[in-house]
């Protein structure tokens, strides 16, 4: 870890009046949740078509078998890691004002963050496509797929499928945050997924300093990143937390 860059990032964060984080699949890799892209990524093993909205309606059983394995068998036991915890503790200390996440794994909330704008929804909520009744994963019998509501409607996870639009409230709050932010901590995102990737660009245009944490360079690195902290999210965020607060992460 480059100490000079770390201290610079810590100084910028401490001096900021409004800071936000923008997180992608990379922040949850150390929690055991694989990313979609690249080696070992979800799309190297599964067909992305199963998460297209029209395909889901036409083939609910086939889609649901993949969904069960990916998001409920697999994500189900994941625990928040030090990067999620550092962001939650920054929020508690008044040093971070919100998180815009592309993730649907609920790990920011599990770590204790309260202002989380979920750009792509959340796998821990499910919804009847007909009567819009909400369910939790505990209500679902995953042995009897596809799940149906009491009204007879098909139940769908409340994260967005390909072909669905971004939840309006999360989008508006994210754009508002990008207009206000003096600092963005960008963690574990390739920057390839639109429109989510526009949020850090909007913040940069409004004058924010961009701190990026990633094991590899991304679309953001050469275009908007001011301070690139190379490494795994958990280790880098632990060090950043220490550099900012002078204390070890709990
Ligand atoms: P991505 O899969 O395109 O890229 C992951 C990024 O994380 C890469 O830049 C990679 O270098 C980086 N990375 C990998 N391991 C890391 C580590 N230990 N520490 C720091 N960085 C690390 O992710 P994306 O850009 O978020 O786009 C994929 C889309 O898929 C997202 O929009 C998201 O909704 C969804 N997704 C969510 C989850 C989840 O909820 N955990 C998992 C997979 C995909």
pLDDT single digits (tens) 162-204: 989 999 999 999 999 999 999 999 999 999 999 999 999 999 9
Mean pLDDT of all residues in the chain?
A: 94
**Does 250 score more than 90 pLDDT?**
no
When pLDDT is cut at 50, 70 and 90, the band that residue 99 belongs to is very high
Q: Are residues 190 and 85 in the same domain?
A: yes
Ligand 1 centre to CA of 59 (Å) is 27
Mean pLDDT value across residues 242-250: 94
The torsion angles phi and psi of 88, rounded to 5 degrees, stand at -65, -40
Give alpha helix (H) positions in 45-194. Answer: 53-58, 60-67, 82-92, 107-111, 168-180
Question: Which protein residues are within 6 Å of ligand 1, measured from CB?
Answer: 24-26, 28-30, 33, 35-37, 42, 102-105, 120, 188-190, 192-193, 196, 213-216, 218, 232-233
Of 230, 244, 237, 201, residue with least CA distance to 12: 244
pLDDT at 125: 94
pLDDT tens sequence across 20-73? 999 999 999 999 888 877 666 777 777 889 999 999 999 999 999 999 988 887
Q: Are residues 10 and 104 in the same domain?
A: yes
Ligand 1 centre to CA of 144 (Å) is 30
Q: Which domain holds residue 205?
A: 1-32+79-120+166-250
Residue % of the chain over a pLDDT of 90: 86
- Ligand 1 atom 13 nearest Cα: 26
Among the listed residues 84, 97, 108, 120, the single catalytic one is 120
Q: Are residues 204 and 216 in the same domain?
A: yes
Rounded to 10 degrees, the C-alpha dihedral 237/240/245/249 comes to 30
Q: Are residues 209 and 238 in the same domain?
A: yes
Contact between residue 155 and residue 128 where contact means Cβ atoms under 8 Å apart? yes
Q: Are residues 188 and 229 in the same domain?
A: yes
Q: Are residues 97 and 134 in the same domain?
A: no
Contact between residue 85 and residue 146 where contact means Cβ atoms under 8 Å apart? no
For residue 123, the ligand 1 atom closest to its alpha carbon is 40
pLDDT at 59: 96
Among the candidates 109, 143, 159, a domain finishes at 159
pLDDT at 73: 79
When pLDDT is cut at 50, 70 and 90, the band that residue 74 belongs to is low
Mean pLDDT value across residues 66-90: 89
Q: Are residues 58 and 28 in the same domain?
A: no
**Does 76 score more than 80 pLDDT?**
no
pLDDT tens sequence across 105-125? 999 999 999 999 999 999 999
For residue 104, the ligand 1 atom closest to its alpha carbon is 40
pLDDT at 88: 98
How many domains, the chain? Answer: 2
In the residue annotation, 120 being an active-site residue is answered as yes
């Amino acid at each position: 870890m480059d100490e000079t860059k770390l201290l610079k990032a810590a100084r910028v964060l401490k001096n900021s009046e409004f800071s936000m984080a923008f997180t992608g699949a990379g922040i949850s890799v150390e929690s055991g949740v694989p990313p979609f892209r690249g080696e070992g990524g979800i799309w190297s093993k599964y067909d992305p078509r199963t998460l297209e909205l029209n395909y889901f309606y036409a083939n609910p059983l086939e889609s649901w078998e993949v969904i069960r394995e990916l998001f409920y068998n697999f994500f189900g036991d994941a625990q928040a890691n030090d990067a999620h915890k550092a962001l939650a503790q920054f929020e508690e200390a008044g040093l971070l004002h919100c998180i815009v996440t592309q993730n649907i794994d609920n790990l920011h909330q599990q770590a204790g963050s309260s202002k989380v704008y979920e750009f792509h929804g959340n796998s821990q909520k499910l919804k009847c496509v007909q009567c819009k009744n909400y369910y939790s994963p505990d209500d679902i019998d995953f042995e009897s797929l596809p799940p149906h509501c009491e009204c007879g409607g098909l139940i769908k996870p409340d994260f967005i499928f390909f072909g669905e639009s971004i939840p309006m409230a999360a989008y508006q709050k994210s754009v508002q945050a990008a207009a206000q932010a003096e600092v963005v901590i960008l963690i574990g995102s390739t920057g390839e997924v639109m429109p989510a990737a526009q949020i850090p660009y909007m913040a940069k245009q409004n004058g924010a300093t961009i701190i990026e944490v990633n094991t590899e360079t991304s679309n953001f690195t050469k275009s908007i990143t001011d301070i690139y902290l190379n490494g795994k999210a958990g280790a880098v965020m632990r060090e950043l937390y220490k550099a900012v607060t002078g204390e070890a992460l709990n």
